[in-house]
Amino acid sequence: MEFNLSLGSAEEEKRDYDVVIIGSGAAGLSAAIYCARSGLSAVVLDKTTPGGLTAEAPWVENYLGYKAISGVDLAKKFVEHASDYVTIRQDREVTGITRNKDGYEVQTREGVSYSCKGIIVATGTTHRHLNVPGEDKYYGKGVSYCSTCDGYLFRNKRVTVIGGGNSGAIAAITMSEYTSSTEVIEFMPRYMCEDAYVRAIERRKIPYLKNKQVTEIKGDGKKVTGLVMKDRQTGEVSEVETDGVFIYVGLIPQTSFLREAGVKLDERGYIITNAKGKTNLDMVYAAGDCVAGNEAQIATAVGDGCRAAINLYRDMVNSGR
């Protein structure tokens, strides 16, 4: 997904802002717009293409104003809107934050640091891995975590979706339109997706194998050829022939860089905030999927970003910054 953002060189870019927003998904871009419209100078930093996991959704049908829109198209609209207000850097991986006399300094892996009075963390989540033999070896050779990105490469081929929650179900339903066969393998002994997706799976006669644990992904050295799974009730081991494996087994918050700064995280690494989105650190807020108790929805991420920006602005005004 290309946005043709005008990034500029490291030498000429501005380094001093009122607010640094870390993460360019729905929450971060929403926060950016509200910061800018409050008169705060802000920059958005991310290590990859803006849009976050929104861009990976095959279709979004529950975002107000759009009966149906592809995740890529919705993400593009977010980025185009936010880029009218702020600079979005898609080449800055934040590695740490430290206090300075005016607020904070945000360090990046690229060696560029930014000074700011406040921070909004909206780093979102990344895909959880199975951690089984063959997963890393065949990544990009049949193993994928994004059906929107890679699904069509498997048209007229066999694919297996591991993980039968909403994301896995949507991936399976979408890919069943153009693959020769699609099946879902679910660890739990029951459907783990919403009823609407269960009905769609059943209408399309997509096999949904419950109570199964994938133990290995197999290949011929060049590409995926199958996988090994175990029945969690009987212990029976079987092999499945497949050309593509799409893994949807959960998400991990991208917050490890915050531990050294003293930001409070829960046992799973999600950021603990109050009802206003404020962390335990002064002038540091968080929004979106990286926050403890989040709903993992685009709509709530946008709202979180708005709330964090509004309350950070109020904090700055009240403190005279």
Smallest CA-to-CA distance from 31 within 123, 114, 131 is with 123
The amino acid at residue 241 is: E
Q: 250: number of CA atoms within 13 Å, CB side? A: 9
Q: How far apart are CA 51 and CA 56, in angstroms?
A: 9
The radius of gyration of the chain's CA atoms, rounded to the nearest angstrom, is 21
Q: How far apart are CA 169 and CA 172, in angstroms?
A: 5
Per DSSP bridges, beta strands 244-247 and 143-144 are parallel
Burial 109-147 (b: 16+ CB within 10 A, else e): eeebebebbbbbbbbbbebeebebebbeebbeebbbbbb
Residue 14: per-residue pLDDT: 83
- According to the model, what pLDDT value does residue 204 have? 97
Q: What is the pLDDT of residue 119?
A: 99
Residues counted in the chain: 321
Give the C-alpha distances (Å, rounded to integers) separating 217 from 81, 222, 252, 289.
Answer: 41, 13, 22, 29
Beta bridge partners of 224: 219
As a whole number of angstroms, the distance between CA 121 and CA 308 comes to 9
pLDDT of residue 321: 74
Residue 91: Cβ-neighbour burial (10 angstroms; 0-12, 13-18, 19+): middle
Tell which residue, 159, 157, 137, has the closest CA to residue 146. Answer: 159
**Count of Cβ atoms closer than 10 Å to residue 199 Cβ:** 10
**Which residues, 6+ apart, have CB-to-CB distance to 75 below 8 Å?**
1, 50, 51, 52, 54, 55
SS3 251: strand
Q: Dig out the tokens for 261 from the structure.
A: 């700064």
The tens-digit pLDDT sequence of the chain (321 residues) is 545 454 444 555 789 999 999 999 999 999 999 999 999 999 999 999 899 999 988 888 899 999 999 999 999 999 999 999 999 999 999 999 999 998 999 999 999 999 999 999 999 999 999 999 999 999 999 999 999 889 989 999 999 999 999 999 999 999 999 999 999 999 999 999 999 999 999 999 999 999 999 999 999 999 999 999 999 999 999 999 999 999 999 999 999 999 999 999 999 999 999 999 999 999 999 999 999 999 889 999 999 999 999 999 999 999 987
Neighbours of 171 (CB within 10 A): 27
Specify the 3-state DSSP secondary structure of 25: coil
